[in-house]
Amino acid sequence: MLKREKRRYLALTAVCEQPPSEEAVLNAVQASVHTLFGEYGASKANLRLIKKRPEKEQIVVCCSHKALEQVRAAIASTTVIDGKAGAIHVLGVSGTLKALSKKTETN
């Protein structure tokens, strides 16, 4: 039987000259993954948008647990969001959405 792939959920927040849209943040992360690891790396990372939390200015994305460090590196190396200078910070990482929301609430 095929084993289910483990995922990691990441809560992200963006700091930018102008508040960026959630799609712009995700596009910036995906572009960064492409730049650093190419299409092969991006396919292994399996990065997806899970949730938008506009009230907290956060988005939740998920990736393969094996590619977590690569995705974090790509997030950290993002310096441009939607054509403007910006930065993306990881607020928390977890294996389940429930644990992630607990983590980000306590932080």
Partner 1 sequence: MRRFADLNLRPPIEDMNKTESMVKKASELGYSLVAIPLPSNTSKEQVSQLRHLCKEEKMDFATRVTFAPRNSNELLQNLRRYRRKFEVIAVRCDTKDVARQAAKDRRVDLLQFSVTSLRKRFFDEAEAELASQALASLEIELAPLLQLTSSSRVRLLSRLRKEVATATRFHVPVTVASGATDELLMRGPHDYAALTTLFDMKLPSALGALSDNPWTIVERNRKKLSADYVAPGIRVVGKRTDA
Four-residue CA torsion sign, 48, 45, 56, 86:
negative
Tell the smallest beta-carbon distance from residue 90 to partner 1 (Å).
6
Residues 6+ apart with CB under 8 A from 69: none
Q: Binding string to partner 1 for residues 60 to 99, with x set by CB under 8 A, is what?
A: ---------xx-xx-xxx-x-----xxx-xx---------
Please identify which residue in 21, 31, 34, 36 interacts with partner 1, judged by CB under 8 A: 36
Asked if 49 is part of the footprint of partner 1 (rule: CB under 8 A), the reply reads no
Q: How far apart are CA 13 and CA 42, in angstroms?
A: 21
The answer to whether the beta carbons of residues 26 and 59 sit under 8 Å apart is yes
The answer to whether the beta carbons of residues 81 and 43 sit under 8 Å apart is no
Tell the smallest beta-carbon distance from residue 96 to partner 1 (Å).
19
Q: Which residues bind partner 1 (CB under 8 A)?
A: 15, 36, 69-70, 72-73, 75-77, 79, 85-87, 89-90
